[in-house]
Chains A and B, each alone.
Chain A
């Protein structure tokens, strides 16, 4: 009798042990899974995947699986194809110029403000720097996508070349007039074979140029107020600027380095002494440049009223995608992840690890408190330029449909002008004409 009791007890203990262990493993299994597709190549992609891994380690309920899906356009295509198949990822990283396209897909995405309301997780837009928040918010201030990796173009210059040319390396040019004069002097004195170049021609010379000079890139507050916006880049100021670049190119002072990031190599190699490129170039310049260099804000034309204004961002944000099988728990997981990445320590670490700008006010305060800007002089320039003034409707950001296509059009027309096939005015008139066709097509396909 006793023996039976004991064996029964053992059996019960065994069962409860089995149940307990299976429950424990089920708990690990039952973490809510979140698929997150990103478009960052190495080493940035690895750092981003580490952010997701840190989030997973910080709690036990949710699991974010970050996967690289090719560069931004390929990631966008992949997400769209997955959505059409009813199988979209929970979160997709999308470049800033894809913002209008994503916003127009109303039922495919869940705005971050709605996500916060539904899940009760607080995501406060006020934490974000104005220029970052504005880019990804509706006109009445509701956050649509989650801001993340952001950069802004700045002036990088070669201090050794400045010295050799008899220029003061501690007084970099602040205006375009000074920039052209310095670039000319550098080439004349053979301090460098190329005085000036820029990467991301549309981003630096049109999107940011317009913001800094407080002139519209497009009507309707650069498209923020409606899809019927029209390009405005054939204004006298824009024409004057392109003409100046064409003149300097003929003189052999300015060298066109190609589309998108193709000109990036020309600065660290020492070829071009003044360079307008992304603030995200910092790590590469530190690694590759064999000369003293400095960083400063982008220039403006003297006598332009209310210039300079704040510059605008580039980079990407995170979008929440909908799907037929989504549960409330999954949205909650996404919201918790977003809340995690907006923590000051995560933001500051991301900024210091990658060179992207801090996007939260607490993030910059934290980085500053840790003495980062004393150890890395000039690393605060992008942030200071981004927050130089309160954003105006010309420096809030862009919301133009099919902006990637418009960027290419502008580059193509610039190239034709640099080839001598057309004047500056013709180039920009053509860019406006072709760009407006793209905008009208976008308006038509997204008509409600």
Chain B
């Protein structure tokens, strides 16, 4: 039998929980409930005419080839934005974990991008990669590569992936570095007695880092889904054609720009289900392989 902590007072625990519960209800359950409510309605933006349409909004979305295209973009985008910063950050962290001169400066510089707001980050990338005014953009064209992300969908997608990943490298770096420093030196020293650097890394360090890796995977996924709006908005606006329109960007376009409350709410509900599902999956299957 499980041990239970018994509170003598029946009211106090609820009172103590109240602030947290209030925040959860107001900022999560209430908007989520609203989204579900609007997703079954057909309504003009001013709310003057309302029609209950059952699941028609969902039917329209799920049979729309453009929505399915957006799903595809999101899968590519999120996978890349989750994997790239982790790879880069792990490399940087391993490098920074050694005893080298100027370690502190090096580490600090690596953390800077995290302080940059998404829209500002996007502007920086724009000034570097714009085909007409950007330094690298112009250079790419001069050396004969047709670099024009305003017309090439693949280049546009690459650009938003790079910009969104760049911002996240610092965060990943910070956690990987902390993870690395938590590994006892003696273990690594013992391993290096009879194995090379590569072997030590893959057999000892990487498995010991797995809780951190798993945590960052979840955080990066959520970031890729929800926090990359600013980068896309400022860099490509979802274009060209629909090459960089992720699901979250489409929710914004349909809800705010196109004033389609029902359709946009239905998309949010789908997105909500997908993210809940993904997180649950991650915890269920990947966490099993994680050693704490």
Spell out A's residues near B (CB within 8 Å): 73-74, 76-77, 80, 83-84, 101, 104-108, 256-260, 262, 265-266, 269, 271, 402, 404-405, 408, 411-413, 415-416, 418-419, 421, 438, 441, 444-448
B268 at the binding interface (Cβ < 8 Å): no
Contact of A415 with B239 in the complex, beta carbons under 8 Å: yes
Question: Chain A contact residues: over half helix, strand or loop, or mixed?
Answer: helix
Which residues of chain B are within 8 angstroms of A408 by Cβ–Cβ distance?
Answer: 253, 257
Contact of A258 among B43, B44, B150, B260 (CB under 8 A): B150
Contact of B241 among A105, A271, A419, A447 (CB under 8 A): A419
Which residues of chain B are within 8 angstroms of A444 by Cβ–Cβ distance?
Answer: 42
The residue in A74, A104, A421 that gathers the most chain B C-beta atoms within 10 A of its C-beta is: A104
- A88 → B minimal CB distance (Å): 9
B189 at the binding interface (Cβ < 8 Å): no
B113 at the binding interface (Cβ < 8 Å): no
Interface residues on B, range: 20 to 34
- A79 → B minimal CB distance (Å): 9
- Knowing A404-B258, A415-B241, A446-B49, the reply to whether A269 touches B151 (Cβ < 8 A) is no
Which residues of chain B are within 8 angstroms of A412 by Cβ–Cβ distance?
Answer: 239-242
Which residues of chain A are within 8 angstroms of B211 by Cβ–Cβ distance?
Answer: none
Contact of A84 with B151 in the complex, beta carbons under 8 Å: no
Contact of A77 with B48 in the complex, beta carbons under 8 Å: no
Contact of B259 among A106, A258, A259, A402 (CB under 8 A): A402
Pairs of residues from A and B, 5 with the lowest C-beta to C-beta distance, nearest first = A415-B240, A405-B258, A105-B46, A258-B150, A445-B44
- Knowing A83-B46, A105-B45, A262-B150, the reply to whether A402 touches B256 (Cβ < 8 A) is no
Which residues of chain B are within 8 angstroms of A257 by Cβ–Cβ distance?
Answer: 150
- Knowing A265-B133, A418-B151, the reply to whether A77 touches B258 (Cβ < 8 A) is no
Interface residues in B143-192 by Cβ distance below 8 A to A read: 150-153
Interface residues in B233-282 by Cβ distance below 8 A to A read: 237, 239-242, 253, 256-260
Contact of A419 among B47, B240, B257 (CB under 8 A): B240
- A-B contact list, 10 entries, CB within 8 Å: A80-B46, A108-B48, A266-B132, A402-B258, A402-B260, A405-B257, A405-B258, A412-B240, A412-B241, A419-B152
The residue in A105, A266, A269 that gathers the most chain B C-beta atoms within 10 A of its C-beta is: A105
Contact of A445 with B46 in the complex, beta carbons under 8 Å: no
Q: How far is the CA of A192 from the CA of B62 in the complex (A)?
A: 47
Q: How far is the CA of A260 from the CA of B237 in the complex (A)?
A: 10
Which residues of chain A are within 8 angstroms of B43 by Cβ–Cβ distance?
Answer: 445
Contact of B132 among A80, A269, A419, A445 (CB under 8 A): A269
Which residues of chain B are within 8 angstroms of A418 by Cβ–Cβ distance?
Answer: 151
Q: How far is the CA of A74 from the CA of B252 in the complex (A)?
A: 11
Which residues of chain B are within 8 angstroms of A107 by Cβ–Cβ distance?
Answer: 48
Contact of A265 among B45, B132, B256, B259 (CB under 8 A): B132
- B258 → A minimal CB distance (Å): 4
Contact of B151 with A73 in the complex, beta carbons under 8 Å: no
- Knowing A269-B133, A441-B260, the reply to whether A84 touches B46 (Cβ < 8 A) is yes
Contact of A105 with B133 in the complex, beta carbons under 8 Å: no
Which residues of chain B are within 8 angstroms of A447 by Cβ–Cβ distance?
Answer: 49
Which residues of chain B are within 8 angstroms of A73 by Cβ–Cβ distance?
Answer: 256-257
- B222 → A minimal CB distance (Å): 25
- A223 → B minimal CB distance (Å): 16
Which residues of chain A are within 8 angstroms of B42 by Cβ–Cβ distance?
Answer: 444-445
- B119 → A minimal CB distance (Å): 13
- B42 → A minimal CB distance (Å): 6
Which residues of chain B are within 8 angstroms of A421 by Cβ–Cβ distance?
Answer: 241
Interface residues in B116-146 by Cβ distance below 8 A to A read: 132-133
Which residues of chain B are within 8 angstroms of A415 by Cβ–Cβ distance?
Answer: 151, 239-241
Which residues of chain B are within 8 angstroms of A266 by Cβ–Cβ distance?
Answer: 132
Which residues of chain A are within 8 angstroms of B239 by Cβ–Cβ distance?
Answer: 258-259, 411-412, 415
Contact of B260 with A105 in the complex, beta carbons under 8 Å: no
Residue of B nearest to A108 (CB): B46
- A41 → B minimal CB distance (Å): 14
- Extra contacts, 9 of them, besides A105-B48, A412-B239, A446-B44 (Cβ < 8 A), are A73-B257, A84-B46, A257-B150, A258-B150, A408-B257, A411-B239, A438-B258, A441-B260, A445-B51
Q: How far is the CA of A445 from the CA of B45 in the complex (A)?
A: 9
